[in-house]
Each structure stands twice: as C-alpha cells, then as structure tokens.
Structure 1
Amino acid sequence: MLKSIVLFLSFLVLFSCGSSKTNTAIPENAPEWVSKTPLSNFNYIGIGMAPKSSSDYREKAQKMALTEISNSISVTVSSNNSLNVFQYDDTFNEFYRMNSMVSSAAFLEGYDIVDIFETENYYYTYLSLSKQKHQQLRKARINKALEASIFKFDYAKKLTAEKDFSEAIKQQILALEDISEFLNEDLRYTQDQIEKPYVSLLMNTIFSNLNQIEISFPVKQLSIKHASDAKDIYIQPITIQTQNKALSNIPISIFYSWQPGQSLDLISESNGAISLLIPRNCSKNNSEKITAILDTYSLVKNLSQNRVVQKIFENYQSKKFELPISKQLPTIEFEIYLMENSKKNLNALEDELFQLFSADYFTLASRKAKKDFTITIECKKMENLQVNGKISTKLESRIKITNTNNHIVYQETLHNIIGIGSSAELAEQDALQSLIDKIKMVNYSAMVQSML
C-alpha cells in the first residue's frame, strides 16, 4: 500500500510539471524544451516554470526543475537498488524506499542551468545534471559519511572498554545516523585485515549492547501482607546496569498487571536507579506482577532526530524483567446475629457472605489462621405488619469491621430492609436476603477496601 502511494505521488508531481508547461499559452518563438522535456542517456533533465505574479518566481521555477530531476533520480534508485544488506522488516523497507525518494532532492548539487526563457507573464528554466557527475558526488558523500560513522564506531569501542556504556551507545546511534541515507549500499569495515559488511556489524553491536542492559529489582519476589504492611509500599532501588555498571538517563517503562493497557515511564537517575511506590491495596488478587522494560525507542529518539534511525527501533522488542508479587489477604471472622427477644446467630448468612469474600481471596479465621478482622452485622427488627394475609418485616442492620486492636475500620447502618412472606419466618428470611443483596450492590467494595 505504501509503495502504491509513493508511485502515485511521483506520478502527480510529474503530471503537474507536464500540465503546467502544456496548459500555458506558449509563444511560437519559445524553444522546444519549454513544451517538451528533452531526453538524455547521460543527464538528468528538469524543466521548471513559474508565473511572474510573485517576486520569487525564479526560485519557484528552479525548485520545480529540481523536483523533476530528483524524481528521475529517485525512480532510478528505487528500481536498481534494494535493501539486501539491511533487512529489518517489510514496514521499514517500504519506509526507507520512500524516505530515499524524498531525501534525494535535498542533496542535489553539480547541476547546470542550460537555458532560460521568459515571456511577459512566465519564467522558464532548463536544468541539467550529469549522471556521471551525480554518481561521483554521491560516492564522495558516501565515503565522507562512512568515514564519520566509522570514527564514532571505533570511539564507541574505546568507551566500551572504559565501561562508559551510556556514551558508547550514544556514539553507536550517532554512527548509524551518519550512514542512514546509505543503508542500501555495500558499506565495508576492515577489522584485523578482514573486510566485513559495516551496516550489519554496526547494527549487531548496537543490539548486543542493548540486550546486555539489565533491570534488577531489590527482591526476587515482593510479599504483601495486607493486615500488617504499610498502605504505601516502596520498591527501591531498581537498578539499570550493564556489566555491573550503573546506567543513568535510561528510559524505562513499567507495567502493572492490575492496570492493563497502562504504563509508567521513568528515567534512571545518576546512580542508575529508579523507585516505585505502589498501594498495598493495588488489587484484590493474591498474585500480581510488575514488568519493567527498556524503552528503546525513547532512548534512540532522545539521541537522534533522524527519522530513519528512529524507525529502525520503533518496533524493537526489549527484554522483559518481572517482579512477582505474592499477596496475603486478610483472615476474617463473622459475627452476624439478629436481636429479637434474644441474640440469634445467623449462620446461613455467614456462609453466604463468606462465599462472597472468599471469591476475592479472603480466608476464614481458624485455630491455625488467626483473625485479622472481625465483621459484625447486627440486625434489629423495627416492625412487623400484616396485610391481606402477608407479613412485612422491616430490619435495621449495623455493619462494623474491627481489626485486632479493636479499632473500627468500617461502619455503616442500613435502614429500611424490607422482607415480605406468608409467615413471619419467611418474611424474616426475605428481609435477610434483601440485606445480603444490598451489601453486595452498595457496601461490599467499601468493606473490602477497608481491609486491604
């Protein structure tokens, strides 16, 4: 699809050039090149035209002619060259071909003004660029770029030996930037009197160095005890290093398993460390994890503004470093009763509520597992009414959660809990079921959070 767009745009440029020349009333004394671009096996030809209505008509005409030349060169490059040396992925290859077409116009030099022609209203220019001269100039630019790149590459090797890894990676990225326009050329590097493909060597070195960057958590597994740990948990230091050398100013992306689709972007400090602060009640699950990865694209983007270089690393998959989290959720016990003539325990209600809490990994207190919290629900009958053979019961329920120090962490009073049945017992059961339903819909989340 991208290739089709590029060809279509090229066609539009060429068509617009041609139509500008043919749709204008050309006087009889105009040279032939004004109406028809000459053909040459040895030169790239560009014809430009601009109306004299603006003061910069000469510049506009010349720009139009250079565009025609650059399109001719781009077509030649696209048809005679391929990215055989540097194969990243199909997306990058298409992007690189398009970028080559666009960038070639920026470096046009050595062209000659063959002729100009003017009328009262229009200005025409005829430019010619020797194909041989263009190749010579291009070769000189390639050699200059390669020389600059190799200098940085060799300097990066020296920095690596001195364990200055951050600066070494920077120099390697800048070395890649120097030759970004010529990745499809057969560039060579001599090492120990052996010639090697330079682009592959440079890229493999960069990827190797990136893969050596380690992100180390302070513990192998983080254990959270909800009943005793602080509400805010600090994880520090998380160190970013390579070969036991701390790396500063390295962008890191943090992913929390309990926040899918979101990330936290951090940069390592001068000591190569970052820190995290997570809430104890980050989730109700008994296991989670934190994933940290090197943000390679941001690292490269901070070092180079070159779009080709950035594109290379846009989809680069960095290694993942994970910190498992084991969560010990609170142990609870229930005291649920109905105050009537005497205190009546509601065991069935306790069982149903525990099923609800156990789904969120809470455990029931026992002799081996001491309670962390007590959930007390005290129900009182406020009134009984009998109408048309039906009995209506109204309850008021007070919910209270206390910790081991008997401090209240949650309390709420629920009014007007109504139950209807053909008997007092059935009306009571219906009211208690209404209580359960209301707790599930209104109070349950807040009750859970108070214990996390």
Structure 2
Amino acid sequence: MNKLLPIAFVLGLFACKDKQQVVQNVPPPVQRPAWVASRPVSDADYIGIGLANKSRSDFQETAKKNALNDLASEISVKVEGNSLLYTLDRKNSFDESFTSTINTKTSEQIEGFEMVDSWDNGTEYWTYYRLNKAEHARIKAEKKRQAIAQATDLYARSQASVAAGDLKSAIDQDLRALLAIKAYWGENDEVLIGERSVPLANEIYNDLQRLTNGVRLTALPERCALEYSNHFKRELLVTARSVNGATTRDLAQLPLVMSYPGINGKVTATSNTDGEGQARTTVQGIDLGAAGPELLVRVDMDGLVSKDLDPTFVKPLVSSLTVPELRVPIDLKLPKVFISASEKNLGEPLTEAGAALTFRQELTTKGFRFVEKESEAELIMSVTATTREGGTSNGFFTAFLDLSVSCKDRSTQDVVYSGGKQGVKGVQLAYDKAGLEAYKKAVQDIRQEVVPALMNAIL
C-alpha cells in the first residue's frame, strides 16, 4: 500500500504539468498596426491602403491594386477653363459617359510609388503604399512635356498634308495628335504655334472642324435625269475640293459613300476620289414610289479613320464633326406611250372597259404618259385580248380570257417587252357574261403580275 502512494503522487505531477502547458499555448490577441487601425495622413506623400481577403489566390496582387487605386484617388484632377474637356462640356458635344471614360482611361499613370508595409492575419491581407508628391509632379511634368511635343509635331504634319490636298492624312494626324495628349485634355496645355499662344488640344480639335467644314462636293450634272432615252441609267461625276478662303485644292483619295432609293431597297456604293479629286457613280433601278428621290453623297468619316486608333476616344470625336454631304435631285421621266387595243368577247368587239383601260390607268399612276398620236410616243403598246367558251356545268357557263401585250421602241422597232396572261377563268349564267367576268378577274393579274414585269423590262 505504501508503494502505491509515490506512484500516484508522480502521476498527479505529470497531469498538472500537462494542464499548465495547455494554458500557456493560447496565443495572445493580434495587434493591428497603427496604419491599419487609422489611415495615415501626410503632407509630403500620397497614401494608398489596400485590403484583400486571403481566400483569394491572388490576394497580394489584389491588395496592391486596391492600394494604388486608393492612392490615385488622393490625386485631385481639376478641369481647367481653357482645356478641351471644358470646351466640349460647354458645347454639350459629348455626354457625361464619354467625359467619364476619358477621366477613367487617362487616370494618373502612377510611377515612383513604394510599398511601406504589409500586414495579415488569418483572413485579411493589408498593404500600405506611398508616392512622394514632389516626385510625382516631376514625373508628370516630364511626361506631359513629351506628349505635347509629340502632338505639336503631328499637328505640324497635319498642316503640311492640308497644303498637299491630302485631307485623309491631315485628319489622321490631327486625331493622333489629340490622342497623344488625351491624358491632359482637362489641363492647361498652352503652346506657341507660330506667333500665337494657343491651348493645343482645342487648337487641334478646331482644326478638325475646319477641315470637314471646308470640304465642298459638287456633281455633274447637277440634277440626275433618268428617262427612256438614257435607259433610266445615268453616270455622275462627283468632285471633292477643300476651300480655305481664296485657296481651293482638289481632295485626292477621299472616301465617299453614295446612296439612293432602289427598287429593292437602299442602294449604297463606296468610292475614293482619284488624283484630281473626282469619283464616278451610276444611278439606275430607281424606286418609282420614292418621294423626292435623290442621290446622297457623303464623306465616309469612318473611312477617314485608321483602324489602329482607339475607337473609344476617336468615334465620339469624329461623330461630333460636320459630315460634308451633297444631295443631287433625281428627276425620273417615264416614257410617252401610245396604246392600241384589240379586245373581243366570244368573237364580238368588247363594248365595256377591258384590259387596255386597266393598263392605261395603272401605268399612269406610275408616271407613264399616254399620247394620242403614235408619232409623239417613245413606246408603242399593243394589247390583244379575247375570250373563248370553256363549257357548262349545273347551269353555270365558263369562259377563258387570253391576254397578250407587247411594247416596242418606236424609233428602233425593237421589242422591249412581250408577255400577258392565259386562261383567266370567268363563271356566270351565260357565256357572254362569263367572258366579261373573266375580263374583270384579269384586272388583278394585270396589276400584280403583268405591269410589274413590263416595268422591270422597261426600267
């Protein structure tokens, strides 16, 4: 019994020791750095604090990005009164989303920053960055100087292109000049151009407006006459020139878009002017139902812009410019027609209105002109129609109408169109009435099938 007491005593000591070790392994509360608990304030530096959840695989990069965004938000951006952004806002040329895009895409390109500290616990990762304000101002001033120098050089090249009559290159160089300084569109950018001190971005944008406003488009002939004598097809010569005061220059390789209403919808063609500033286009297949048809000639603004330029900035700029255009009236003059008809019902001359009258009425509404003398006509139309018996059934009589029509050129005697409709059915209580019924039913066939086919052949 006495031997058991020491053993129990020793076991008790071990048990107490293990219990003490468990208590000692509890970690003390984690102390957050002062810059995590309270954002630092500095007159000499811009400060950026970033936080990311450690559950992300890229938590360190995310925290850095958030810190730099936070740092950038401390750098105030003021839109100067003589800047391009201020001018555009005053003119309401652009909506808020565009100016917001400029501010976002041209936000401070931060350089010279340094990481001061980082801290993390089980779930969070914090990082602390700073950027010396004086160093930032120095870097920014140097980058702005380089950008303005590049833009000034491009603007000078644009002026040389204008002098050479190359509008496309001039606009391209102006746009590149503006993009070179897009980060400073809201700032003062006064430069010396010749003997003038001007805000550079405004000067370049105004030059773009002058370039497009100075384009003059003309056409020969001034009106597009489509008539039977030219087979309703006319070629026009379009000339593009740049006018600046008393100076006029031909515009070579200028992209143009030309359109007019066609039978099957809008007809659009593109063409570049030649070395003399001229382009040719042909108008044909005009839509007869179009009210006040015209040929619209416009400078292809999209064609003036190089594909490598950022459309986010360029498209709103270009769309704010005046698009030079020319409207050429289209005078459609349909032919004079002399019509002769031979219409019979069951072998007897037709005493009521027949197919010839339908042709005359329908073509008149389309613009054709009918004359009483064959010598005054351009087209001779011959209409032949006759009915035949088709049998009886249950007291009803059937007759069929066979219709043929031909048009020929009076001067050449060439057949322009030949067609018609066979076996138009009429049913009535007598053969003669069935024949007249067939004539009535033929009216819709003439309007919907024969006349359109005839017009397609003529036009």
| Secondary structure at the counterpart of residue 241 of structure 1 | strand
Give the match for residue 254 of structure 1.
Answer: 258
- Residue of structure 2 aligned with 1:47, choices 38, 45, 49: 49
- Residue of structure 2 aligned with 1:418, choices 395, 401, 425: 425
Give the match for residue 101 of structure 1.
Answer: 104
Letter in 1 for 2:299: L
Given the two structures, how large is their TM-score scaled by the length of structure 2?
A: 0.77
Q: 1: CA distance between counterparts of 2:354 and 2:277?
A: 57
Letter in 1 for 2:188: D
Letter in 2 for 1:177: L
* 1:321–1:260 Cα change, 3 Å: farther
Alignment of 1:265-414 (within 5 A): 265-279=270-284, 281-284=285-288, 288-302=293-307, 304-305=309-310, 307-339=312-344, 340-341=346-347, 344=350, 349-367=355-373, 370-383=376-389, 385=391, 391-404=397-410, 405-414=412-421
Deviations 1:162-202 (Å, cap 9, x if unpaired)? 55554433332222222222222232233565533333332
Please state if 1:449 is matched with 2:430: no
* 1:134–1:263 Cα change, 3 Å: farther
Range moving further from structure 2, 327-336 or 399-408: 399-408
| Secondary structure at the counterpart of residue 376 of structure 2 | coil
Alignment of 1:127-142 (within 5 A): 127-142=129-144
Q: Is the 8 A contact 1:85 1:186 kept in 2?
A: no
| Secondary structure at the counterpart of residue 430 of structure 1 | helix
| Secondary structure at the counterpart of residue 104 of structure 1 | coil
Please state if 1:211 is matched with 2:217: no
Deviations 1:374-400 (Å, cap 9, x if unpaired)? 333322222165667655432222233
* 1:191–1:79 Cα change, 3 Å: closer
Q: 2: CA distance between counterparts of 1:425 and 1:112?
A: 106
Letter in 2 for 1:242: S
Given the two structures, how large is their TM-score scaled by the length of structure 1?
A: 0.78
* 1:245–1:254 Cα change, 3 Å: same
| Secondary structure at the counterpart of residue 85 of structure 1 | helix
Q: Is the 8 A contact 1:330 1:451 kept in 2?
A: no
Q: 1: CA distance between counterparts of 2:95 and 2:303?
A: 18
| Secondary structure at the counterpart of residue 379 of structure 1 | strand
Q: Is the 8 A contact 2:338 2:374 kept in 1?
A: no
Give the match for residue 33 of structure 2.
Answer: 31
Letter in 2 for 1:431: A
CA drift at 1:357: 0.7
Deviations 1:139-183 (Å, cap 9, x if unpaired)? 333333223222332343344445555443333222222222222
Letter in 2 for 1:214: R
- Residue of structure 2 aligned with 1:67, choices 69, 94, 110: 69
Q: 2: CA distance between counterparts of 1:371 and 1:144?
A: 75
| Secondary structure at the counterpart of residue 248 of structure 1 | coil
* 1:429–1:58 Cα change, 3 Å: same
Q: 2: CA distance between counterparts of 1:70 and 1:304?
A: 27
Q: Is the 8 A contact 1:255 1:263 kept in 2?
A: yes
- Give the gaps of 5 or more residues in structure 2: 1-28
Q: 1: CA distance between counterparts of 2:417 and 2:58?
A: 78
CA drift at 1:257: 3.6
| Secondary structure at the counterpart of residue 326 of structure 1 | strand
Give the match for residue 181 of structure 1.
Answer: 183
* 1:342–1:403 Cα change, 3 Å: farther
Q: 2: CA distance between counterparts of 1:395 and 1:114?
A: 100
Letter in 1 for 2:386: K
CA drift at 1:92: 4.0
* 1:163–1:233 Cα change, 3 Å: closer
Q: 2: CA distance between counterparts of 1:97 and 1:365?
A: 68
Q: Is the 8 A contact 1:304 1:310 kept in 2?
A: no
Q: 1: CA distance between counterparts of 2:409 and 2:163?
A: 58
* 1:253–1:50 Cα change, 3 Å: same
Q: 2: CA distance between counterparts of 1:161 and 1:270?
A: 15
| Secondary structure at the counterpart of residue 181 of structure 1 | helix
Q: 2: CA distance between counterparts of 1:159 and 1:282?
A: 39
Letter in 2 for 1:239: T
Alignment of 1:107-122 (within 5 A): 107-117=109-119
| Secondary structure at the counterpart of residue 199 of structure 1 | helix
CA drift at 1:356: 1.0
Q: Is the 8 A contact 1:42 1:132 kept in 2?
A: yes
Give the match for residue 445 of structure 2.
Answer: 438
Letter in 1 for 2:220: P
Q: 2: CA distance between counterparts of 1:379 and 1:164?
A: 65
Q: 2: CA distance between counterparts of 1:104 and 1:216?
A: 45
Q: Is the 8 A contact 2:165 2:250 kept in 1?
A: no
- Give the gaps of 5 or more residues in structure 1: 1-26
Letter in 1 for 2:454: M
RMSD: 3.6
